[in-house]
């Protein structure tokens, strides 16, 4: 039998200790926040501060920084901290009880793995794959089949990463065998390898290539050979501020949130 407390148990313990520390302070102030001895308002009485921690797929790095800034502007007192990684890493963090409020993955299967830990997910965006090449496409990569050239250094996301799963799906469908020089833990690592010249080509999301258009070129993949990536977002059941977490997830589907996502190249949900 494990002696470690559950996620809920750990949070309950922290809450109990925190409450014990705050009681003496509450006893020293009036209902209006002023000290009972007539002094200045009690600390924290002037404005409510809300902090949200959002675990998000690596391919959302740039757009979520923009979205986070916009959300903080329209919701004074709210501070959002993002943690970006491959969806499989984020799911592992949630399963291990990492403190967070919102989870956004790059596929529904990853989100489904932690269904017991989240509220109902909402799809906020979709994406497609492109072939990223060095700037100027010096090797003249034109189709998926070109990636099978043994002289070409190709890098892919690892099979357990959503981008890796989508890549395998489209390559298998075309009966194309690619032997990558490396398999990366997230799609941004694939993009980096190509951008730095450590690989000749790689499969990334369209939005990733657009975020690095000064370093890589993007070769479009026909829709009938491509895969549609789906991004679900959900508030975690153990969120320290469940109401604020749900509000942020809802905002991502609002006209303001959708405009930011679509301006960055993401497709409508």
**Residue-by-residue pLDDT tens, the chain, 269 positions:** 333 344 444 444 334 433 443 333 334 344 444 344 444 334 444 457 999 999 999 999 999 999 999 999 999 999 999 999 999 999 999 999 999 999 999 999 999 999 999 999 999 999 999 999 999 999 999 999 999 999 999 999 999 999 999 999 999 999 999 999 999 999 999 999 999 999 999 999 999 999 999 999 999 999 999 999 999 999 999 999 999 999 999 999 999 999 999 999 999 99
* Sign of the torsion formed by the C-alpha atoms of 89, 123, 61 and 221: positive
Strand 154-157 relative to strand 182-184, pairing: parallel
Tell whether domain 127-228 is in CATH 3.40.190.10.
Answer: yes
CA distance linking residue 188 with residue 205, whole number of Å: 9
pLDDT at residue 267, rounded to an integer: 97
Say if CB 127 and CB 231 are below 8 A apart: yes
Residues in CB range of 50: below 8 A, 6 or more apart: 75, 77, 78, 79, 241, 244
What is the separation, in whole angstroms, between the first and last Cα of the chain? 44
E strands along 75-206, which residues?
78-85, 102-104, 122-134, 154-157, 182-184, 201-205
Token duo for residue 59: 């391919």
pLDDT at residue 48, rounded to an integer: 75
CA distance linking residue 29 with residue 36, whole number of Å: 5
Say if CB 237 and CB 133 are below 8 A apart: no
pLDDT at residue 47, rounded to an integer: 56
What CA dihedral angle connects 144, 150, 153 and 155, to 10 degrees?
50
What are the extents of the domains in the chain? 127-228
pLDDT at residue 190, rounded to an integer: 98
């Amino acid at each position: 039998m494990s002696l470690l407390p559950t996620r809920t148990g750990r949070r309950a313990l922290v809450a109990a200790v925190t409450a014990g520390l705050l009681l003496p302070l509450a006893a020293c102030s009036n209902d209006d926040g002023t000290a009972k001895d007539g002094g200045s308002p009690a600390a924290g009485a002037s404005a409510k501060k809300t902090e949200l921690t959002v675990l998000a797929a690596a391919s959302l790095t740039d757009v979520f920084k923009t979205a986070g800034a916009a959300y903080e502007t329209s919701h004074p007192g709210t501070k959002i901290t993002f943690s970006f990684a491959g969806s499989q890493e984020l799911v592992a963090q949630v399963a291990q009880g990492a403190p967070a409020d919102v989870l956004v993955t790059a596929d529904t299967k990853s989100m489904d793995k932690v269904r017991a830990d989240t509220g109902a997910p909402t799809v906020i965006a979709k994406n497609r794959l492109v072939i990223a090449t060095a700037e100027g496409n010096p090797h003249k990569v034109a189709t998926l089949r070109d990636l099978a050239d043994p002289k070409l250094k190709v890098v892919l996301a690892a099979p357990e990463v959503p981008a890796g799963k989508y890549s395998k799906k489209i390559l298998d469908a075309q009966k194309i065998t690619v032997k990558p020089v490396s398999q990366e833990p997230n799609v941004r690592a694939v993009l980096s390898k190509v951008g730095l010249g450590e690989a000749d080509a790689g499969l990334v999301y369209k939005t990733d290539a657009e975020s690095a258009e000064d370093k890589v070129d993007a070769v479009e993949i026909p829709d009938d050979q491509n895969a549609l990536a789906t991004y679900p977002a959900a508030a975690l059941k153990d969120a320290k501020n469940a109401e604020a977490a749900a509000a942020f997830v809802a905002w991502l589907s609002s006209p303001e949130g959708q405009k930011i996502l679509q301006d960055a190249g993401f497709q409508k949900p």
